[in-house]
Structure 1
Amino acid sequence: MPDQTPALKRSRLAHGGFIAALILAALAVLAGPLHRFGVIEFPIARHLLTAAAIGGPVVAIVCLVAAILARPGRGRRGRTQALVGLTLSLLVAGFIWSLVRTAMSLPMIHDITTDPADPPPFTAVLALREPGTNDPAYGGVELARQQKAAYPDIAPLVLPVTPEAAFDRALETAQTLGWQIVASDRAAGRIEAVDTTLWFGFKDDVVIRISHSPEGAVVDLRSASRIGLSDLGANAMRIRRFFAVFKDIG
């Protein structure tokens, strides 16, 4: 005797929530690469992330309701889709909101240096900056105060070596980190470079200054973002990473 069990109808709500979650994930993931490869400008990429951050909780609620309505015994299929959509939308929203929380916990600064009293100036990299980027001039006392409060560990590195030896190691470190070397002057003890971030392809400028000290040599760095008010701590992390690799090379 043929099976008379009626086929379960697919839940449109579950399917729609799942598709919406996929779209949100695509917006969040592709916003960076699309900006990195010049397809969209940064304001548009930021709007895509905002849409994903706001839409994530909404889609999560839709998927949760769909999962409840499509539970066993309700005559609908699509519960798995709804649960996958719920998980995906929460992950997307959670990731973006974690970036927001990070930004809110840090000062709105994007220019970090080991020597706020006498920050190394940018010169060679200025020609690479497009109109509308952040002012390359250092922000002065107020910026220094905010940096000290947020990143008290950022300080010059003093080494018992000659400035020439420190310069060679600094240049090797920058190359190891994959920075684009724009200018290097061993006699002047200066290196300028550009570091491109992985996700969005932001171009951040870096200047390294090597100077003489009674102990041997002093290594100072300055790292600044070309766009954006807050760097989410990226420039401080870049300086820390430089010094960590610098010490490993030595």
Structure 2
Amino acid sequence: MKTSTKVILVFVICQILILVGSPFGYRSGLFDLMTALGGFAIAFAGGALCLLAIIGLVIAGLVRKQPLDKGALIVATVLALVPVGFVLPQLQKANSVPPIHDITTNPMDPPVFFEIKKRRVHALNDLVYGDAERSAEDMEALQDEFYPDLETLLTPLTVAESLAQSEAVLRQMGLEIINVDPALGVVEATDTTQWFQFKDDLIVRIRSESGQTLIDLRSVSRVGQSDLGVNAERIRRFLQGFQSPSS
């Protein structure tokens, strides 16, 4: 029993190393994105397999009345839960959001990027709203279904005041400000994800119309078909922060 427990413990440690090593390998250029995501899948499957093996080992020990290395089993169980607990919510999230990566508060007239275009030369995703797989109308329908709360923000602030507040909110959110253009009424910024350090670009467009100030946003991932809802959540955080600025 002790030998089996040690084998499980070594195996689950390998899954942890795969889980942690996958994003670092991608970021350092050792392998591509699909390989890194495959590493996550392997770590998840390995962690789940370890949990099943631990359950089987405990049952066998109880039936045969053989001593168990309880300390090692507890450690192995905790470690096995790490990849399972990390990857499973991502899989659940992927199944609960549409497989798109370009989100805006105004699908009929999405904001256009300016300065950030220069930084997306090697991006796998372009900045065209809609593509051969999904038209702009399809994108709008998906947004209406999954993100109906994301709409143009009307504010009593002037364009200049809105521009300054937008920049402040984005900085509070931790985004890198790329461009602030008062003439165009836009703020462009880039967000970097923690694990894989993916770059997602966001633009705030501010316009005056019929005596009102209208604020629209667009957040686009440079990599990946599905953003797992990150772009919508980023826009949502901005809207909440803009309407309830911290002092």
Q: State the TM-score, normalizing by the size of structure 1.
A: 0.87
Q: CA deviation at 1:36?
A: 4.2
Give the partner amino acid of 1:195. Answer: D
Unmatched runs of 5 consecutive residues or more in structure 2? 131-135
Correspondent of 1:135 among 114, 126, 143: 126
Alignment partner, residue 223 of structure 1: 219
The share of aligned pairs that are identical, in percent, is: 32
Matched, 1:82 2:73: yes
Q: CA deviation at 1:75?
A: 5.0
Residue pairs, 1:72-111, within 5 angstroms: 74=65, 76-111=67-102
Matched, 1:149 2:140: no
Matched, 1:168 2:171: no
Alpha carbons 2:186, 2:206 under 8 Å: kept: yes
Deviates more, 1:133-142 or 1:88-97: 88-97
Give the partner amino acid of 2:140. Answer: A
Alignment partner, residue 42 of structure 1: 33
Residue pairs, 1:190-201, within 5 angstroms: 190-201=186-197
Distance 1:243 1:122 in 2: 19
Which structure's CA Rg is the greater one? 1
Alpha carbons 1:167, 1:210 under 8 Å: kept: yes
Structure 1 pair 32–248 and aligned structure 2 pair: CA distance change class (3 A): farther
Q: State the TM-score, normalizing by the size of structure 2.
A: 0.88
Alignment partner, residue 117 of structure 1: 108
Unmatched runs of 5 consecutive residues or more in structure 1? 1-9
Alpha carbons 1:64, 1:82 under 8 Å: kept: no
Distance 2:212 2:57 in 1: 68
Residue pairs, 1:204-219, within 5 angstroms: 204-219=200-215
Distance 1:172 1:137 in 2: 28
Structure 1 pair 132–197 and aligned structure 2 pair: CA distance change class (3 A): closer
Cα RMSD of the aligned pairs, angstroms, is 2.2
Question: Secondary structure of 1:149's match?
Answer: helix
Structure 1 pair 160–215 and aligned structure 2 pair: CA distance change class (3 A): farther
Q: CA deviation at 1:213?
A: 2.5
Question: Secondary structure of 2:177's match?
Answer: strand
Q: CA deviation at 1:209?
A: 0.2
Distance 2:144 2:181 in 1: 29
Alpha carbons 1:180, 1:195 under 8 Å: kept: yes
